[in-house]
């Protein structure tokens, strides 16, 4: 589901980069040959004195790093571990999708089974009066006696279920965040409305994933499942951040049960069918004939008057005709009492299940689930054969996390394959991929600084896209290092030369990417239609976590590319030189031994 939902992003990048490659290889050389001219100046003096201050500082830092290689590598490893642990202990945690300001909200009302439309209408009118006080709500749409589509209608529908839809003004026209209004409306309704189950939820963005909190309870006895669901709701209802708690156990409408005593009926010379037919005829009526008026026919129904059919006391006064026509009270033949049946039985994978679900407010769903799991495991003695599991959004989150993990490793594998064919070496691709791993330092620090949660989807995609940009910078640097080595320069000279020459393109690549993502991360852009700045757009709330990951990750990865990659290359050159020297010494010793022989 996540691949289908986010697939347009990689497809757009693939097409854009393919077109960019064509432009770089074909169009740009033609334009350069036509319009660019080479300036022939006299030999300049030492250019080092005219280098920008930041570049001079970088060269000094690079020289120091090459002299302290192991210290630089150890510092990078320690920083990676520290950033990871800091986010685990002090970060905002993980989330499935970013929490955005909703454009709509829904008030779902469930009254007791059998409630008529007039009563439901009166309750909905009271809720409409409450929400109509908010100026930021543009439209209010009420559905009374809703059938299907509502969270409460699973397994049962009717006149007792209603919904009120709140449509907010545009984001820039609101005087306050819509999430605050939803929270306030929920509190006011819960304090004002009694005798009904009310749920206030905001519109969810993204693909359908199920509720943030979704607990499925499995077992055989549906009544026991309903009891366990009620106990679970009672135990977890006061957990901070958990709101709109409900379950889909349907008790069924109230009913009057007439249980016939077959032994007494047999002594009186009656059977169950006769008694049942008498009760049915008295309440529902029986067709006594047909009344004709012209071409129209009307059925003549005989039954008790309304006053004798409105209470259980009136039903108990019904008499049944005996074999000789004598009246026998119904209470002498059967027990009459109130009760309720099972409204619906839900199954999942052929197992009976009752679902307890809810929403979160002010906390991450993962943190709330940890508290719920602890309470349900400790405070409910689950009978044998009964169990629970978390599904809904958590199930989709686990699937998406597994999918993105595979996609990330597939991305790394493809990059490694291309680098192996390009450099014909195993060490060089590993150095380039090391910069990708260390770029996670910037990602975690960025999330900590901005107070952003690690989004499984948005931040995950940001990390995957970050790998491609970081690899490009490292390739540009290492390719020039190899060119200088091929010209006969020593390892240190080649590294310093490559750092000085490739400093500007690497920095420009990072700066342009960061500047391009800043509007998405900060929510500040320019509306050319209105010729005004647009602050706090809805899209920035959705794409912001991805932009934050790429901005901070790329900023830190640029430093790694310019410092750590040359250090790793220097270390690799040292090992390869030592290995070559050892091989030469061994060859020399063998030759001397053969001469002695």
- The secondary structure of 194-263, three-state, reads CCCEEEEEECCCCCCCCCCEEEEEECCCHHHHHHHHHHHHHHHCCCCCEEEEEECCCCCCEEEEEEECHH
Residue 120 in this model has a pLDDT that exceeds 50 = yes
* Average pLDDT over the chain, rounded to an integer: 82
Residue 88 in this model has a pLDDT that exceeds 70 = yes
Q: Is the separation of the CB atoms in 497 and 48 below 8 Å? A: no
pLDDT band at residue 187 using 50, 70 and 90 as cut-offs: confident
Residue 224 in this model has a pLDDT that exceeds 70 = yes
Residue 166 in this model has a pLDDT that exceeds 80 = yes
Model confidence over 463-486: pLDDT tens digits? 888 888 888 888 888 888 888 888
Is residue 417 classed exposed, middle or buried when 0-12, 13-18 and 19+ CB atoms within 10 A define those classes? exposed
* Mean pLDDT value of segment 38-64: 72
Report helix, strand or coil for 132.
coil
pLDDT band at residue 324 using 50, 70 and 90 as cut-offs: confident
Structure confidence at residue 27 (pLDDT): 93
Report helix, strand or coil for 435.
helix
Query: How many other β-carbons are positioned within 10 Å of the β-carbon of residue 120?
Result: 23
Name the residue among 560, 549, 559, 564 with its Cα closest to residue 444: 549
Give just the sign of the alpha carbon dihedral 83, 85, 86, 92.
Answer: positive
Question: 325 is written with which tokens?
Answer: 């026509």
Model confidence over 413-430: pLDDT tens digits? 888 888 888 888 888 888
| Torsion, CA 530, CA 533, CA 536, CA 537, rounded to 10 | 40
pLDDT band at residue 334 using 50, 70 and 90 as cut-offs: confident
Question: 542 is written with which tokens?
Answer: 């959705």
Question: Containing H/E element for 566?
Answer: helix 565-596
Structure confidence at residue 154 (pLDDT): 47
Structure confidence at residue 100 (pLDDT): 77
DSSP label of 51: S
Model confidence over 2-14: pLDDT tens digits? 777 778 888 898 8
Beta pairing class for 387-390 and 242-247: unpaired
Model confidence over 230-269: pLDDT tens digits? 888 888 888 888 887 888 887 766 788 888 888 888 888 8
């Amino acid at each position: 589901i996540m691949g289908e939902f986010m697939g347009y992003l990689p497809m757009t990048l693939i097409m854009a980069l393919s077109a960019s490659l064509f432009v770089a290889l074909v169009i740009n050389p033609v334009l350069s040959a036509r319009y660019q001219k080479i300036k022939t100046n006299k030999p300049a003096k030492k250019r080092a004195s005219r280098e920008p201050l930041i570049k001079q500082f970088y060269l000094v830092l690079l020289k120091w790093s090459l002299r302290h290689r192991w210290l630089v590598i150890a510092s990078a490893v320690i920083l990676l571990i520290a950033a990871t642990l800091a986010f685990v202990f002090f970060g905002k945690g993980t989330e499935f999708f970013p929490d955005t300001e909703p454009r709509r909200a829904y008030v779902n009302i469930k009254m007791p089974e059998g409630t008529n439309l007039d009563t439901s209408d009166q309750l909905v009118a009271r809720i409409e009066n409450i929400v109509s006080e908010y100026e930021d709500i543009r439209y209010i749409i009420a559905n009374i006696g809703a059938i299907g589509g509502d969270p409460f209608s699973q397994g049962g529908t009717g006149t007792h279920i209603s919904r009120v839809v709140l449509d907010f003004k545009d984001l820039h026209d609101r005087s306050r965040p819509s999430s605050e209004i939803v929270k306030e409306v929920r509190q006011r309704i819960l304090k004002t409305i009694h005798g009904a189950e009310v749920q206030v939820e905001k519109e969810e963005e993204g693909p359908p994933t199920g509720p943030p909190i979704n607990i499925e309870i499995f077992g055989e006895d549906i009544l026991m499942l309903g009891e366990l669901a009620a106990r679970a709701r009672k135990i977890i209802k006061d957990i901070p951040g958990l709101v709109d708690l409900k379950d889909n156990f349907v008790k069924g409408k109230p009913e009057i049960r007439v249980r016939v005593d077959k032994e007494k009926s047999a002594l009186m010379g009656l059977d169950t069918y006769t008694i049942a037919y008498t009760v049915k005829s008295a309440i529902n009526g029986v067709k006594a004939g047909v009344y004709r008026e012209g071409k129209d026919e009307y059925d003549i129904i005989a039954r008790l008057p309304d006053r004798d059919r409105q209470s259980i006391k009136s039903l108990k006064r019904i008499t049944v005709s005996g074999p000789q026509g004598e009246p026998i009270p119904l209470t002498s033949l059967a027990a009459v009492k109130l009760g309720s049946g099972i409204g619906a039985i839900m199954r999942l994978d052929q197992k009976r299940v009752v679902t307890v679900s809810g929403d979160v407010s002010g906390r991450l769903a993962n943190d709330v689930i940890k508290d719920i799991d602890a309470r349900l495991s400790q405070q409910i003695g689950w009978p044998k054969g009964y169990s629970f599991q978390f599904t809904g959004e958590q199930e989709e989150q686990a699937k998406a996390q597994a999918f993105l993990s595979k996609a990330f490793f597939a991305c790394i594998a493809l990059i490694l394959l291309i680098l192996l064919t390009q450099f014909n070496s195993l060490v060089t691709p590993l150095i380039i991929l090391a910069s990708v791993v260390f770029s996670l330092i910037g990602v975690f620090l960025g999330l900590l600084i901005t107070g952003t949660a690690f989004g499984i989807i948005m931040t995950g995609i940001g990390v995957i896209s970050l790998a491609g940009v970081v690899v490009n910078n490292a390739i540009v640097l290492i390719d020039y290092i190899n060119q200088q080595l091929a010209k006969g320069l020593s390892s240190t000279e080649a590294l310093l030369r490559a750092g000085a020459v490739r400093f500007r393109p690497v920095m420009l690549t990072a700066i342009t990417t960061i500047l391009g993502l800043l509007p998405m991360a900060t929510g500040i852009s320019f509306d050319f239609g209105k010729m005004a700045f647009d602050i706090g757009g809805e899209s920035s709330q959705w794409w912001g976590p991805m932009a934050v990951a790429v901005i901070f990750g790329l900023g830190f990865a640029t430093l790694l590319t310019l410092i750590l990659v040359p250090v790793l290359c220097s270390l690799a050159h040292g090992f390869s030189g030592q290995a070559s020297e050892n091989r030469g010494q061994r060859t020399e010793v063998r030759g001397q031994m053969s001469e002695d022989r």
